[in-house]
Structure 1
């Protein structure tokens, strides 16, 4: 029996958390231009793992959301956006910025292997957290969702901030470590260890989660 108190059900195990009507899947920034920055073997591996989770979630009838990182044109970008672009591109002048993820650029698109269904949601963001300035929180709340599986790229840049933001909003983040990848593997591992230490995220792997979703 799930722990109950004050009229609430309090899931403690991964099995209790992964109820199809109460959990959603976020596929974070699996875009052509982002994955092209990883070594080919790492791109192939994380794509395989993400597809396993995606297929298992679809088979279980779980709601699926895909995020994409969007670059603003420099003419409408603000201080943070311009500073971030210069840091990422290792340049010192705004005039040198070449936005990587403009709306119509090939690199902005999701990788073709994902094939989002018409019943699934694709949304764009300009921040690292998938919740900041997007529809995600409202959509999940409206469906009575209280947990979120997270897979994709990059662990150290966007997945850790998203997991922490999810917890601050009252969701249970479930981070599937081998279905996430980072641009810097050491930094990505530090992010996972930090999430483990904080304790509000559930850390699991693809095989375990796929078995539970059957």
Structure 2
């Protein structure tokens, strides 16, 4: 992270796609390596630590989830990533699309759903952030080189300070995760660990 400390009065925590199919060992994408890389990253414990930090500091928490809408071709087939989703994986209303146990939203935490990569695309995220006077978005979730990367790029394009919690994000494998950090998000986002952002040693 740069040398400018976070202004907690203008910061929000955004959690991206922390759903059973994306992370759980019994999820639809476990065979791709997603569950293994999440475990390597200690993803869930780190996100829990972030949630505790945000809630204790009264920092807004917004949950964002990607879903497959049943009953039609609503996801589209214009890109391979959209053809990977559904018809059963991440299906709205199923266990696979639900939040990971222990990472569920509280009643005062918005849950936005979408069927595109960026958390800003097709949701009211930008409006929620602006209405809360947020200027910095701290992002955690999956997958680093897909939805997380798209979200951070859009956050920067919308004028927010974009911060990625690197050990609270994961992908299909370490190479894909590293590609986002080493190349794709260069000059887009600041990188910080869970311990650094919360002020607690990992």
1:201 equivalent to 2:198? Answer no
1:19-38 equivalence runs, <5 A = 19-36=7-24, 37=30, 38=34
Computed over aligned residues only, the root mean square deviation of the Cα atoms, in angstroms, reads 2.2
Cα distance in 2 between the residues matched to 1:141 and 1:155: 24
Q: CA deviation at 1:165?
A: 0.6
Question: Contact (CA 8 Å) 2:68, 2:87: kept in 1 or not?
Answer: no
Cα distance in 2 between the residues matched to 1:154 and 1:189: 11
Q: CA deviation at 1:188?
A: 1.3
2:39 aligned residue (35, 38, 43): 43
Question: Contact (CA 8 Å) 1:72, 1:99: kept in 2 or not?
Answer: no
User: Could you report, residue by residue, the CA deviation over 1:91-139 in whole angstroms, capped at 9, with x for unpaired residues?
Assistant: xxxxxx6331121111000012113211111110111100001010011
**Deviating 4+ runs (over 6 angstroms):** none
User: Could you report, residue by residue, the CA deviation over 1:141-196 in whole angstroms, capped at 9, with x for unpaired residues?
Assistant: 11111110000111011111110110000001100000101113211111111255
Aligned to 1:185: 174
Q: CA deviation at 1:81?
A: 6.4
2:68 aligned residue (65, 68, 71): 71
Is the alpha carbon distance of 1:130 and 1:196 closer, same or farther for their aligned partners in structure 2, counting shifts above 3 Å?
Answer: closer
Cα distance in 1 between the residues matched to 2:109 and 2:75: 31
Cα distance in 2 between the residues matched to 1:171 and 1:46: 24
Aligned to 2:57: 60
Moved more, 39-48 or 182-191: 39-48
2:96 aligned residue (107, 122, 128): 107
Q: CA deviation at 1:72?
A: 2.2
Is the alpha carbon distance of 1:78 and 1:19 closer, same or farther for their aligned partners in structure 2, counting shifts above 3 Å?
Answer: closer
1:166-181 equivalence runs, <5 A = 166-181=155-170
Aligned to 1:5: none
1:132-143 equivalence runs, <5 A = 132-143=121-132
Unaligned runs of 5+ in 2: 25-29
Unaligned runs of 5+ in 1: 1-11, 90-96
Cα distance in 2 between the residues matched to 1:43 and 1:74: 34
Cα distance in 1 between the residues matched to 2:174 and 2:4: 26
Moved more, 186-195 or 135-144: 186-195
Moved more, 70-79 or 137-146: 70-79
1:117-132 equivalence runs, <5 A = 117-132=106-121
